[in-house]
Structure 1
Amino acid sequence: MQYISTRGQIQEISFKEAVMMGLADDGGLLLPASIPSLSAGDIAALSKMTYPELALRIISLFAEGIPADDLKDLVDRSYSTFSHKEVTPVVHQDGIYILELFHGPTLAFKDVALQFLGNLFEYLLKERGEKMNILGATSGDTGSAAIYGVRGKENINIFILHPHQKVSPIQELQMTTVTDPNVFNLAIRGTFDDGQRIVKEVFGDLDFKSEFSLGAVNSINWARVLAQVVYYFYAFGRVQRDTGCKEAYFSVPTGNFGDIFAGFIAKRMGLPIRRLILATNENDILSRFVGKGDYSIADVVETPAPSMDIQLASNFERYLYYLMDQDTAKVRKAMADFSSTGGLSFDANLQQRVAQDFLSGSATRSETIDTIRDFYQKTGYILDPHTAIGVKVGKEQTGGECPLICLATAHPAKFGDAVQEAINTSPTMPDSLAGIEKRPSRCEIIDAETDAVRNFVEQHSC
């Protein structure tokens, strides 16, 4: 399995090289040169597997070059850190299926990928006798999951940018209370989009990237997306076993397009997904793209679902590659146009093709809070605000003709203020968060400028 760039300006590379490169050297995003296809029989067999067994099977299709025993060890160690025996259990509530992705160390779906990626980085660095400086930006959950994935690991330093005072208090504490010497938290005076821009600009400086051995943990890293493909297969297998369904909808709260793009890859592999439902908050650039063919930047709005307070979806380019029939010249032109104008529009033909993959909708602040309240009153189950958006939009877009699976992307305790507002009580605090506000913390506040971040990395690199 070889890997290519969405912009077509690099030679094909191996899986190991793709993991270490992160962002393609031509500024594009890496993708497998071809997507494996699974038969109905293959998918039926996968449904009988445990989560680690399934993860090993799916990841091995894309990870040539890693011996089977080594890959099994990486997978087993990665998911041994989860508090639930099923890793990503599925629960049935109010006529829908909720895929709980928050049983990892930082109580968010990012753990599913970043526990694996942290172990994979350590494995590859040891094999190569090299060091790495990881640079990433977060809107809340990626940062803590990445930090927990590599804290204390040899030959790795990690630098995580988050928007100062624009993530939830728990999200901030989960990052800044990790004081291992190889962890650096940078609170930038700006938005997540500023952080994402800075990361791409630093990676675009190829001399700097090479000199300081930069690695990526954002979903620009293909291994992140790959690990997330697994739970679509796992959830479908559990729901099919329960209902006998032949297809299912997946509703995905998303801001950066990474989680839902993993579902798109699962669909291309043959998983019978009726439609992927793209759910956004007021930062609705993605739902406008699906519904109106309008992909244009607007101002970032702060909402109760801060991990979705994004206007620049870094994984959108990967989908654009397939929408444009894998024509890298068209992708390059589209991204250049977007860079210069801040917007792209899509004709009726392309909109029709998008509609074959996605349904979409958005939720306002009040609708998000109301959904948490209504769902709790009906079921006693507490949704976090991101998951509530997925539930609200998913129910609006489907009619019961096949099961609806909603991705629960974070534990409600991470967003206690929103939950308190909705149901007038705080969610139970997991043991891992008990007393977190009293722990020592370390963080640097820094201007949202590329040179400032570049200089900080240079001074503190491993």
Structure 2
Amino acid sequence: MQYQSTRDSSVSVSAAQAISQGISKDKGLFVPKSIPDISAELDALCKLDYIGRAKKVLGHFLTDFTEEELSACVEGAYLGKFDEDEVAPLSKVGEDAYLLELWHGPTCAFKDVALQLLPYLLTTSAKKVVDGKKIVILVATSGDTGKAALEGFKDVENTSILVFYPEDGVSPMQKLQMTTQEGGNVSVCAIEGNFDDAQNGVKSIFTDPALAKKLSENGMMFSSANSINWGRLVPQIVYYVSAYCDLVADGEIKAGEKINVVVPTGNFGNILAAYYAREMGVPIARLICASNQNNVLTDFIRTGTYDRNRDFHTSISPSMDILISSNLERLLYHLCDNDDKVLSQWMTSLTEQGRYTVDEKVKERLQSVFWGGYCDDAATKETIWEVFAKYSYLCDTHTAVAVNVYGQYVAKTGDHTKTVIASTASPFKFSGSVLDAIDPKAVDADDFVTAGRLSEISGCPIPRALRELKEKQPRFAGRCTRDTMEQVVLGMLGM
């Protein structure tokens, strides 16, 4: 399996090269040259556990990894690291809906599923292609990626990791998770601005030739733990394959029966993984893209015009507070038949004018698979209350957006196909907003008191990883602007 750049189709690299490098030198994202068909393997996959399924699915994409290397990576990532043996269990909510719980890992967010594996993939890749260079991981986060990446890479040999997060754009619990992070190779810095500012700054640093040369002279190279890195994205495909297999194995659907998938979406990586699963032959009918009031993706799916020239909203679902969805570039590359020139024109227009419009053919292809909807904070809270009142199920603010948009989709289309809804975080990571939806008078200024009250009211235990934060002291208090991010990186590296 070879990988090409979305901005230059003539680029051809191995999986190990794509993972080590993170992003192409032409600023494009790496995508597989072909998508494997696993439709004939689904019956066999249904008989395996999550780890067995992961090895099989990843094996199709990481063909330069030996079977022993892949086993070591997958088992190292998942054995004993999650509080559920299944890694990504399903909970039925209603007649036709199933919540895919992706938050049973060490940081209580869906990013753990990929970011517990990525360090193994990256260090294995580095041994193959970068000749012992130290890997410097740069991360822009809207909340969950930062902590999951820090936890995954802490004290990993021959790596350093620096995370940038929007100063006022994460929940108190998310901020505390990052600023108290342990490990001798980690660093965290707040940035004035929003996630898009952090993400654009990281991309700029990645593709600066002079800085890359300086790092190389010092035996280092940049890589990414964001979903622009194929090694971050490919593990996410597995849990959609596994969810389908679980529905078949549990007798909820028949083999070959189609399902829909709903994903609360910001940077488009999680729903793109579901798209790849669909293209691999998993019987997925529609992909429902759920946004909060930063509804740039909803408008794009409905109109074919992507326009970030709009007000930016800080919401109670902060991991979705994004106006530039990087992974959409990968989808568009596939939808325009790998036409790197057309794709590059759209991305240039986005950079220079803040908008682009795809042609009618691409728009039709997009709308044949995707349906987009959104809801605001008030509707999100109402959904949290309704789900708890009706099913005694506590969902976080991002999952609630997905549930709400799923309801909109059914009401609009009358489609009652069995549906998997990605549940992306523990409700206790956003305990203030979740409790405010259920019992506003119980909310306390202290996030830990609020979490305790939420636990008492719901009967759900606070995850140990979050409960233990109360005793930890912050290690990192740095802040910067987008213009000073490079100095922060050089300072961390002693350069």
Which of the five TM-score ranges fits, normalised by the shorter chain? over 0.9
> Match for 2:252: what amino acid?
T
Task: Confirm or deny that 1:330 pairs with 2:342.
Answer: yes
Question: What does residue range 216-235 of structure 1 map to in structure 2 within 5 Å?
Answer: 216-235=224-243
1:282 to 293, 305, 309: 293
CA 1:63 to 1:361, structure 2 compared with 1: closer, same or farther past 3 Å?
Answer: same
Count of aligned residue pairs for this structure pair: 460
Contact 2:20 2:126 in 1 (8 A): no
> Match for 2:52: what amino acid?
E
Question: What does residue range 28-427 of structure 1 map to in structure 2 within 5 Å?
Answer: 28-39=28-39, 41-80=40-79, 81-95=81-95, 96-126=97-127, 128-212=131-215, 213-241=221-249, 242-245=251-254, 246-297=257-308, 298-398=310-410, 399-424=414-439, 425-427=453-455
Task: Confirm or deny that 1:17 pairs with 2:45.
Answer: no
Helix, strand or coil at the partner of 2:454: coil
Distance in 2, Cα, partners of 1:355 & 1:94: 27
> Match for 2:311: what amino acid?
D
> Match for 1:351: what amino acid?
K
Structure 1 residues 391-449: Cα deviation after superposition (integer angstroms, max 9, x where no partner): 11112213353201100000000000111111125143211111413312122433322
Distance in 1, Cα, partners of 2:166 & 2:137: 18
> Match for 2:291: what amino acid?
T
**Structure 1 residue 371: deviation in Å?**
0.2
Contact 1:254 1:280 in 2 (8 A): yes
Distance in 1, Cα, partners of 2:425 & 2:236: 14
CA 1:402 to 1:240, structure 2 compared with 1: closer, same or farther past 3 Å?
Answer: farther
Tell me which residue corresponds to 1:434.
467
RMSD: 1.5
Residue identity over aligned pairs, in percent, reads 37
**Structure 1 residue 126: deviation in Å?**
4.9
**Structure 1 residue 10: deviation in Å?**
5.6
Helix, strand or coil at the partner of 2:188: strand
Please identify, of 329-338 and 254-263, the stretch whose mean Cα deviation from structure 2 is larger: 329-338
Structure 1 residues 15-57: Cα deviation after superposition (integer angstroms, max 9, x where no partner): 1000011011100000011111123x31222122100000000
CA 1:146 to 1:10, structure 2 compared with 1: closer, same or farther past 3 Å?
Answer: farther
Structure 1 residues 82-108: Cα deviation after superposition (integer angstroms, max 9, x where no partner): 110101001111221010000111010
Contact 1:168 1:415 in 2 (8 A): yes
Distance in 2, Cα, partners of 1:102 & 1:392: 19
Distance in 2, Cα, partners of 1:244 & 1:191: 42
Contact 1:250 1:273 in 2 (8 A): yes
Helix, strand or coil at the partner of 2:407: helix
**TM-score by structure 1 length?**
0.96
Contact 2:9 2:338 in 1 (8 A): no
**Structure 1 residue 350: deviation in Å?**
3.1
Helix, strand or coil at the partner of 2:168: coil
> Match for 1:222: what amino acid?
W
Helix, strand or coil at the partner of 1:97: strand
Distance in 1, Cα, partners of 2:462 & 2:253: 36
**TM-score by structure 2 length?**
0.90
Contact 1:321 1:327 in 2 (8 A): yes
Contact 1:187 1:443 in 2 (8 A): no
Distance in 1, Cα, partners of 2:248 & 2:409: 20
Distance in 2, Cα, partners of 1:313 & 1:410: 20
Helix, strand or coil at the partner of 2:473: coil
Task: Structure 2: give runs of 5+ residues left out of the alignment.
Answer: 216-220, 440-452, 456-460
Helix, strand or coil at the partner of 1:237: helix
**Structure 1 residue 347: deviation in Å?**
4.5
> Match for 2:240: what amino acid?
Y
Task: Structure 1: give runs of 5+ residues left out of the alignment.
Answer: none
Distance in 1, Cα, partners of 2:195 & 2:253: 42
CA 1:199 to 1:324, structure 2 compared with 1: closer, same or farther past 3 Å?
Answer: same
**Structure 1 residue 364: deviation in Å?**
0.8
Contact 2:399 2:425 in 1 (8 A): yes
Please identify, of 77-86 and 395-404, the stretch whose mean Cα deviation from structure 2 is larger: 395-404
Distance in 2, Cα, partners of 1:2 & 1:124: 14
Contact 1:251 1:394 in 2 (8 A): yes
